[in-house]
Chains A and B, each alone.
Chain A
Amino acid sequence: MALFTLENISVAYNKQNILQDFNLEIEEGKFVSLLGPSGCGKTTTLRLIAGFLESNNGKFLYKGKDYTKVPVNKRNFGFVFQNYALFPHLTIFDNVAFGLRLRKASKSEIEKRVASVLEIVNLRGFEKRYPKELSGGQRQRVAIARALVIEPDLLLFDEPLSNLDANLRENMRIEIRRIQQELGITTVYVSHDQEECFAISDQVAIMNKGIIEQLSDPATIYNYPKTKFVADFIGFKNFIDFEDQTIHENEIELTKSGYTFIVQKNKENSDTDKKVGAIRPDNLVIRPIQGPVTSTKNALPGKVKIRTYLGRSYQYIVETPIGDFTVNQEMLVPYQVGEEIILEFPANNMVLVK
């Protein structure tokens, strides 16, 4: 059963719709990420769940109860901000104890719980310091401790790692995942960093222009994107808009400008409305033109237009009769710009999207 549900939520800023008829269901104990480019409505969704902003219409249900009009301070959700939002005039202890004091916890209880939560985030011994005296990573851990100590029903993260440097970011995301699993708190996490979301989440919702394009586990999204937007967002740089489609028993045959392509059939691509082929630059293969011709299917004649050295591999932009394609290929002796080549599309690496 869903822990909470957003039903037909609409939010508008300055007469511009950020979310319209937005729906989302999240199960108890799950770590769900909202991922998307800036302006896709992910932060708005999170702030709406937290109660920082109100929806124009629609409903927010928490454990079946209508939470739409429940004010922020009565929701008991923990929120972790991008800029940490620690109280600069309070010590680390007082920052963490803030929520407990408001709940009128006894002095001994406060001391016990603050100590245990600082233990979880590995910050024992920092109680008397002020936020200014801590590093970015430490501050973010204080922010997490402050949100955890109130034993929230829901933990909300708004791009919590984007102000940290790359190394720290990786450590912190492991920390966040560990803490979440240890405590089993349902978590909604907003980020624009794809790798971060995939590494940390049970489920990822890819958002675009105020709607969820796909909500699945990370592996499904990575391998079987459903829409062109999702495919593009997670790195399928090459697209072919097919004209015709024939579904066979084990494979799907598609055509474009007289060229035929075969895509292996799987449970994700048998919809007849999916007629856009998508393939990652790493999965395309460039073959010299004088080699033996294995099949006329899944292959296009082409010419190398641009070559870029990426270190591990070379990146080519290849010009073909049906458009340009980006290819990454590891090789010692690269193809020359202007060289005529054959571009191959392996049948098991192409996915079909809407």
Chain B
Amino acid sequence: MRNRTIYLLLLPGALFLTIFMVIPILLTIGSTFFNEGSFSFEGYLHYFQDKYFIGILLTTLRVSLVTTFICILLGFPVAYYISKVGTRTKVLLLLLSIFPLLTSSVVRSFSWMIIIGKNGVLNKLLLSIGLIEEPLNILYTPTAIIIGLVHLFLPLIIITLIGVLENMDEDLLTAAESLGASRLGVFAKVVLPLSMPGLVIGSILVFVGSFTAYTTPALLGGKQRVISTFLYQNATTLNDWHTAAIVATIMIVITLLVTIIMNQIAYKINPKG
């Protein structure tokens, strides 16, 4: 009896998600296969032949992957350090590191515009110390989008990595060293494989977040479209909901694919993770 009633606790959440998420998604996906009342793949065929769209798709993928990669590189040392300090310092550092998530992405993006703009702080500084002669063109490029996204998503990877690093038995690292491993060897053969669960979750969060981000690329990317700004443009400016639905479906499929691939890589590195 108890076992059966306990499932009732799931009901409100499940109902909510079904009505407001599952059904709309299925309807959206379903609608993409109908063109003026008849079933067809035409919408998709059209888009995969469109060089402009493929360009946007590839840029978005590249931006997301680079962002994920940079987040891992920057996040790992930070997470490792935070996982080793005392409880009070840890709480403080954790708060500091999730701070970007607590500020509005509009505010954050405008701050970056001030920093990396043509007459921005960064260019002025570099010009004044004579490192460059012409102002750098960073704003309104994929690089600007990457900078903004890294700033936004770095906390996610730090938090998930702290989770696994905190639980890692210190003796395992010492054991590896006593068997002859260098610091680098310990990292590659023990720390990295054992961090895989956190690394995968963190990477997926960052990737999916970057892939679907709207505000940051819209403000920092300028004319450089990414897939979500493209979708927005189709839906609202051009009022082409059919195209928007197709783009949305493509986004969902790619997100799923990348998630699966990342899981596969993780399994290769640490089959027990």
List residues of A whose CB falls within 8 A of some B CB.
50-52, 71-79, 81, 83, 85, 87-89, 98-99, 102-103, 130, 132, 146-147, 150
Contact = CB atoms under 8 A, between A and B. Distances in A.
Given A88-B272, A89-B193, A89-B194, A103 B171 contact: no
Contacts of A98: 176, 179, 181, 189
Contacts of A76: 180
A83 B171 contact: yes
A76 B178 CA distance: 7
Interface of B: 169, 171-172, 174-182, 185, 189-190, 193-194, 270-273
B172 A99 contact: no
Contacts of A85: 169, 171-172, 174-175
B177 A87 contact: no
Contact of B179 (A51, A102, A130): A102
Contacts of A132: 272
A254 B198 CA distance: 70
23 contacts: A51-B178, A72-B177, A72-B178, A73-B179, A73-B181, A73-B182, A73-B185, A74-B180, A75-B178, A76-B180, A85-B171, A88-B272, A89-B193, A89-B270, A89-B271, A99-B179, A102-B179, A102-B180, A130-B272, A146-B175, A146-B179, A147-B178, A150-B180
A102 B180 CA distance: 6
Contacts of B172: 85, 87
Contacts of B174: 52, 72, 79, 81, 85
Contacts of A89: 193-194, 270-273
Nearest to B174: A52
A77 B178 contact: yes
Contacts of A102: 179-181, 185
A89 B172 CA distance: 11
A193 to B, nearest CB: 20
B171 A99 contact: no
